[in-house]
Amino acid sequence: MTIKRLLHPIGPALPILMIIAAGPPAIQAQDAADFFRSNCTSCHTIGGGRLTGPDLKNVTQRKDRAWLIQFMQSPQAMIDRGDAYALQIKQESRDVIMPVISGMSPARAETLLTLIDAESKLEKSQFAGLQISDRPFTEQDVQQGMAIFMGHRKLANGGPPCVECHTVAGAGGFGGGRLGPDLSKAYERLQGRKSMGAWLYSPATPTMNLTFKNTALKANEEILPLLALFESTAQKGVEDDRAGTSAFFATGFLAAVACLGLFAVIWKARFRAVRDPLVETSARKVLGGR
Amino acid sequence: MNNTYFNALFFIGLPYVSVFTFFLMTIVRYRTHGFTYSSLSSQFLENRQHFWALMPFHYGILTVLGMHILAFLVPRQVAWWSSVPLRLWIMEIGMLAAGLLTLVGLVAAMVRRRANHKIAVVTTASDWVILALLLIQVLTGLGVAMMHPWGSSWFALAVTPYLYSVATLNPNLAVVSVMPWMVKWHVINAFLVIGFFPFTRLVHILVAPNPYLWRRPQVVRWYRRPAAAGR
């Protein structure tokens, strides 16, 4: 059966079906905004100044769309090719190269540029960046940050505490988790208050993105104290020394030994063999002390 | 090997092949070789070393496996438990101890099968394959516990969504593909164990003497002299 014959019954309705499948423009715009929020806001703002990456306000006036679409799909390739503007972006971003974003097709890049154009025309874009206080950090902020990090203070939107996957110098006890990196020097790596604040509000890694997608941190109540903690640990310049991990292993090892001892005691009178004890007893009798 | 192909092969292809093999071959084996559905216990041949293999291994593996299943079935509750550091550490130390018991039991079982002549005779190639797979599984599990704590917390966030996506025939590799290699190895080896399961004595899990847990107790009398009671 040919494709033509297959399509025959719905042929007249095909253009309408295609329009329905494409979805109304409002839904596409919302989709682009969700995509931008999930994938771009940890490094970019629209009209809120540069973070790790440049401010994207009026980006289409700085470079043509074809170049931007190409760059959005494969930033590394453009840099490798020696493109002057791509190299300039890299230098301005302190050598941080934009990662390849999953699902960034040419069509997706086009809708994102349309979104950026529309947002650039607004007096204040919804992507102007995290509104976080500029006041200096206090010792109390650092303590609150540690309480949030360790899970002693619950996150308002129900997100998991940092300690489950990360550690930080001074975590105490058996230390923090190590699925993700040690965050003691993250404040330096993520280039300070503004960039790290944006990152915490909209994390870029798949694991963090999935975890905090519906449980974003509160700007001044949670992100600010965490930033205070990370600034203080970065200033000290030391990472978690893994003493907690060694203590964890030692405790687990002792617990296992205790279990084995318990087995030996509980099943002391267990029936273990028939023939071997008979042979051993007889051998002792026959051989005597020899 | 390209990372995308590697992930697709081991986190989409392998799980489905393994689970399909598991269901197909456990049914086929039960229908065609029903009497082989057993642990083929060698306890009767040797029962001293057997104790130090059987007891630590079973208590260890049942505890660890039970927690893995719990984290898959009720991830939110497990994450809630682990959201307080003290509770998290109690759980993790308990699981580490159970993992170490499993390792002790497994190594003891391997030594016994190699060193004891009578047991070596009744040991097959399939036994060695599953013992090796289990050893890799336990070692990578302990490696994850030591190198990437705290699994009881992040399992619910990072691994459960992947396992659910596989179970609902809509595999999502977004998170599992960026896991550390030790975690990936542990997951891949788990699917190998599941796939090889029907060809081993592990099938006894499916027909374990479960009614022993709730049936009326039976009194067993041993006729022996008190002096021999400790034997």
Nearest CB neighbour to B55, from listed A165, A179, A263 = A263
CA distance B80 to A26: 38
Count how many residues are written for chain A: 290
- Residues 202-231, chain A, touching B (beta carbon < 8 A): 205-207, 210-211
pLDDT per position in chain A (290 positions), as tens?
A: 444 444 444 444 444 444 444 444 444 566 888 888 878 887 888 988 887 788 899 999 988 999 999 999 888 888 888 999 999 888 887 777 888 787 888 999 999 999 999 999 988 888 887 778 888 999 999 999 999 999 889 899 888 889 989 999 988 888 889 999 999 999 988 878 888 888 888 787 778 877 887 888 888 899 999 999 999 999 998 888 888 889 999 999 999 999 999 999 998 887 777 777 788 888 888 887 55
Residues B22 and B194 sit within 8 Å (Cβ to Cβ): yes
Nearest CB neighbour to A259, from listed B88, B101, B157 = B101
In this structure, the dihedral spanned by the alpha carbons of residues A210, A212, A215 and A221, taken in order and rounded to 10 degrees, is 180
Q: Please, what are the domains in chain A?
A: 11-120 (1.10.760.10), 139-236 (1.10.760.10)
Give the contacts of B70 (CB within 8 A, at least 6 positions apart).
B77, B78
Residue A28 pLDDT: 59
Helix (H, G, I), strand (E, B) or coil at A185: coil
Tokens 């230390």 — which residue? A175
Tell me how far apart the terminal alpha carbons of chain B are, to the nearest angstrom.
57
Residue B211 pLDDT: 67
CA distance A2 to B113: 63
CA–CA–CA angle B172, B92, B74 (5° rounding): 45
Task: Give B-chain residues touching A272 at CB under 8 angstroms.
Answer: 47-48, 51, 231
Residue B145 pLDDT: 95
Task: Give A-chain residues touching B149 at CB under 8 angstroms.
Answer: 174-175, 177-179, 245, 248
Any chain B CB within 8 A of the CB of A266?
no
CA distance A273 to A270: 9
pLDDT per position in chain B (231 positions), as tens?
A: 457 788 999 999 999 999 999 999 999 999 998 888 888 888 888 888 899 999 999 999 999 999 999 999 998 898 888 888 889 899 999 999 999 999 999 999 999 999 999 999 999 999 999 999 999 999 999 999 999 999 988 888 889 889 999 999 999 888 888 899 999 999 999 999 999 999 999 999 888 766 666 777 677 777 766 665 544
Task: Give B-chain residues touching A155 at CB under 8 angstroms.
Answer: none
Residue A289 pLDDT: 57
Tokens 């934009």 — which residue? A98
To the nearest whole angstrom, how far is the Cα of B155 from the nearest Cα of chain A?
A: 10
Give the contacts of A187 (CB within 8 A, at least 6 positions apart).
A193, A196, A227, A230, A231, A233, A234
Count how many residues are written for chain B: 231
Select from A168, A171, A188 the least CA-distant residue to A180.
A168
CA atoms within 13 A on the CB side of B98: 19
pTM metric for this prediction? 0.77
To the nearest whole angstrom, how far is the Cα of B111 from the nearest Cα of chain A?
A: 18
Select from A208, A240, A46 the least CA-distant residue to A126.
A46
Residues A119 and A127 sit within 8 Å (Cβ to Cβ): yes
CA distance B139 to B134: 8
To the nearest whole angstrom, how far is the Cα of B10 from the nearest Cα of chain A?
A: 19
Residue A230 pLDDT: 95
CA distance A29 to A23: 10
Task: Give A-chain residues touching B153 at CB under 8 angstroms.
Answer: 160, 164-165, 177
Task: Give B-chain residues touching A259 at CB under 8 angstroms.
Answer: 56, 59, 97, 101
Residue A33 pLDDT: 87
Q: Please, what are the domains in chain B?
A: 46-207 (1.20.950.20)
To the nearest whole angstrom, how far is the Cα of A70 from the nearest Cα of chain B?
A: 22
CA distance A267 to A280: 21
Residue B102 pLDDT: 98
Give the contacts of A3 (CB within 8 A, at least 6 positions apart).
none
Smallest CA–CA distance from B95 into chain A, residue: A252
CA distance B202 to B207: 10
